[in-house]
Amino acid sequence: MSRRTALAFATSVLAASYALTAPPSQAQSTRDATLVQTGSDIPAKWQRPDADYDYTRQEVMIPMRDGVKLHTVILIPKGAHNLPLLLERTPYDAGGFSKESVPHLRDAVWTANREWVDDGYILVYQDIRGKYGSKGDYVMTRPPVGPLNPSKTDDTTDAWDTVDWLVKNVKQGNGKVGMIGSSYDGWTVTMALLGPHPALKVAAPESPMIDGWMGDDWFHYGAFRQVNLDYFTGQTTKTGKGENVARTGADDYQAFLDAGSAGNWAERNGFKQLGFWNRLSSHPAYDAFWQGQALDKFVAAKPSSVPTMWLQGLWDQEDMYGAVVTWEALRAKGMSNNHLVMGPWAHSQVNGKAETLGPLKWKGDTAADFRRDVLIPFFNTYLKDRAPAEPLAPVMIYNASDNRWDKFADWPATKALTPLYLQADNGLAFQPAAAGEDSYVSDPAKPVPFLAPPMSFSERSRWVSWLLQDQRFVSTRTDVLSWQTPVLTSPVTVQGAPFADIFAKTSGTDGDFVVKIIDVYPATVAEQPEMGGYQLPVSMDIFRGRYRQSFEHPTPIPAGEVQEYKFRLPTMNYVFKPGHRIMVQIQSSLFPLYDRNPQSYVDNIFFAKPADYRKATVAIQRGTAGASAVLLPVVQTSTAIKSAAR
> Any idea what the CATH number is for the domain that residue 320 is in?
3.40.50.1820
Alpha-carbon separation of residue 479 from 170, 329, 436, 514 (angstroms)? 61, 37, 18, 11
Pair (172, 151) in one structural domain: yes
Specify whether 399 is located in the same domain as 448.
no
382 and 506 both lie in a single domain: no
pLDDT at 223: 98
- Is residue 7 a part of any domain in this protein? no
| Alpha carbon distance 366, 105 (integer Å) | 24
Q: CA 234, 237, 240, 245 torsion: positive or negative?
A: negative
Q: Compute CA 17 distance to the chain's CA centroid, rounded to the nearest angstrom.
A: 74
Residue pair 421/432 in contact (Cβ under 8 Å)? The answer is yes
How many whole angstroms separate alpha carbon 555 and alpha carbon 603?
9
Please report the pLDDT score of residue 105 as a whole number: 97
Residues of the chain with pLDDT under 70: 1-34, 637-646
Decide if 109 contacts 122 (C-beta within 8 A): no
Is 22 part of any domain? no
In terms of domains, do 372 and 303 share one? yes
**In a shared domain, residues 300 and 436:** no
Same domain, 404 and 422: no
- Residue 519 and residue 631 share a domain: yes
For residue 608, the model assigns a pLDDT of 98
Number of domains in the chain: 2
Q: Are residues 302 and 361 in the same domain?
A: yes
**Which one of 389, 408, 427 terminates a domain?**
408
Q: In terms of domains, do 533 and 609 share one?
A: yes
CB atoms within 10 A of CB 140: 21
- Residue 166's pLDDT is 98
How much is the pLDDT for 343? 98
Tell me the pLDDT tens digit for each residue of 452-508.
999 999 999 999 999 999 999 999 999 999 999 999 999 999 999 999 999 999 999
The per-residue pLDDT for 38 is 78
Task: Report the amino acid identity of residue 515.
Answer: V
Helix (H, G, I), strand (E, B) or coil at 265: helix
| Alpha-carbon gap, residue 265 to 327, rounded angstroms | 37
What confidence tens digit (pLDDT) does each residue in 173-225 have? 999 999 999 999 999 999 999 999 999 999 999 999 999 999 999 999 999 99
Helix segments in 470-518, DSSP class H: 472-475
* Domain presence at residue 424: yes
Contacts of 351 (CB under 8 A, 6+ apart): 110, 111, 112, 182, 206, 367
Supply the pLDDT for residue 51.
Answer: 75
Same structural domain, 453 and 333:
no
Picking from 381, 408, 435, the residue at the C-terminal end of a domain is 408
Alpha carbon distances (Å) from 423 to 416, 420, 486, 500, 627: 22, 9, 12, 15, 9
- Domain region containing 136: 55-213+290-408
d(CA 547, CA 410): 31
Question: What is the pTM (predicted TM-score) of this model?
Answer: 0.92
* Measured distance CA(470)–CA(460) in Å, rounded: 17
Q: Is residue 4 part of a domain?
A: no
Provide the 8-state DSSP code for 183: T
Question: Distances from the Cα of 342 to the Cαs of 65, 111, 339, 533, in angstroms?
Answer: 37, 20, 10, 27
CB 195 within 8 A of CB 301: no
Together in a domain, 442 and 392: no
- Give all strands (DSSP E) within 338-480, no chain letters: 338-343, 356-357, 360-361, 395-399, 404-408, 418-422, 428-429, 436-442
d(CA 441, CA 74) in angstroms, rounded, equals 58
**Among 352, 374, 408, residue at a domain's last position:** 408
Gap between the Cα atoms of 179 and 162, Å rounded: 11
For helices 155-169 and 184-192, the axis angle rounded to 10 degrees is 80
Q: How far apart are CA 570 and CA 538, in angstroms?
A: 8
Residue 400 forms part of a structural domain: yes
- The whole-number pLDDT of residue 33 equals 60
Residue 642 host element (H or E):
strand 642-644
Sign of the alpha-carbon dihedral angle for 600, 601, 605, 608: negative
Residue 407's DSSP bridge partners are: 396, 642
For residues 179 and 204, is the Cβ–Cβ distance under 8 A? yes
Residue 6 lies in a domain: no
* Torsions phi, psi for 339 (to 5 deg): -125, 145
* 115 lies in the same domain as 185: yes
- Kind and range of the H or E run holding 401: none
The answer to the question of residue 515 being in a domain is: yes
Q: In the 8-state DSSP scheme, what is residue 37?
A: -
Whether 32 is in a domain gets the answer: no
Domain containing residue 436: CATH number: 2.60.120.260
Nearest residue to 409 (alpha-carbon basis) of 83, 639, 618 = 639
